[in-house]
Amino acid sequence: MNSTVATYETIGDKDYDFVRRLIYEHSRINLGPEKKALVGARLAKRLRALNLGTYQEYCRLLKDSEDREELSHLVDVISTNHTRFFREEDHFQWLKSELLPKWRGQDSRPFRVWSAACSSGEEPYTVAIVLAEYFGNTSQWSIEATDISSRVLETAEQGIYDEEKVASMPPEILRRYFQRGRAAWAGRCRIKELLRQKVTFRHLNLFQPSYPFRQGFQVIFCRNVMIYFDRPTQEDLIGRLRNQLEPGGHLLVGHSESLSGIRHGLVQVRPAIYRNGA
């Protein structure tokens, strides 16, 4: 029996404007007119999942829904989650060779890191590898990892990845921190439990009224996130993140991002790395 995949007309301007306003209100992601075709293609997944025939029906569902579940699905399909292990590797080299030796000699507190848009987990697990190599499996460090997408957080918590995603890592790192799958899991690998338990994953909207953290962080990774926001939202976000940094703590952004023109009160120490205070 042949199966068919539903196709949909192009999303109309009125429906697209409604969706982009809703996305902005919930996540502050700023979708411009040029994203219309991309958004329409991604929304088609939700139409098929809900057995809806038109974008108008989907927008009515969003308007009439009494709960937030579908809005969460909407953000999931719209969010871009491109990442990889050791992405922008010089950040991790800086952490290992410059910040950690300096910090360890001056401070006895646990070293706390926040991966503020962790996607499917590659970034916080990379940080965990660096910290485990430096501190060992001790109570001297911990990682908080958050994302607005429930879908990618499920992947991150499982810590299971295709072997090709880790193929470029040194063999000794793979042996220490990954388990290779067998039988039905052949071709995949999993972060070992000792490393997974050092990372706490949470669902979090960066623009929610407050954050659940009781202590500040020595380092916050918030990379390749600001590119989706307008300037007022970028300034709002940087202010929020700065408030979560310990004095002397560092904020890391993506190399394609800049705090130029944003009031932030941070000191740039090298490209894409900023310190809270002198």
Q: Whole-angstrom Cα distance, residue 46 to residue 55?
A: 10
First to last CA, the chain: 69
Active-site residue, from 46, 112, 147, 188: 147
Active-site residue, from 17, 42, 87, 176: 42
| Three-state DSSP class for residue 202 | strand
What are the two backbone dihedrals, phi and then psi, of residue 140, each rounded to the nearest 5 degrees?
-75, -5
Name residue, tokens 């991002």: 257
Dihedral angle, C-alpha 143, 149, 154, 159, nearest 10 °: -50
Bridging pattern class, strands 199-203 and 217-221: unpaired
Q: Whole-angstrom Cα distance, residue 39 to residue 191?
A: 33
* Residue 60: alpha-carbon gap to chain centroid: 30
Q: Is 17 tagged catalytic?
A: no
* Residue 254: alpha-carbon gap to chain centroid: 12
| Three-state DSSP class for residue 249 | strand
Q: Which amino acid is at 225?
A: V
Max CA separation in the chain (angstroms)? 69
Residue 154 corresponds to which tokens in the numbers above? Answer: 């499920």
Q: Whole-angstrom Cα distance, residue 6 to residue 203?
A: 32
Q: Is 147 tagged catalytic?
A: yes
Residue 150 corresponds to which tokens in the numbers above? Answer: 């429930």
- Catalytically active residues are 42, 147
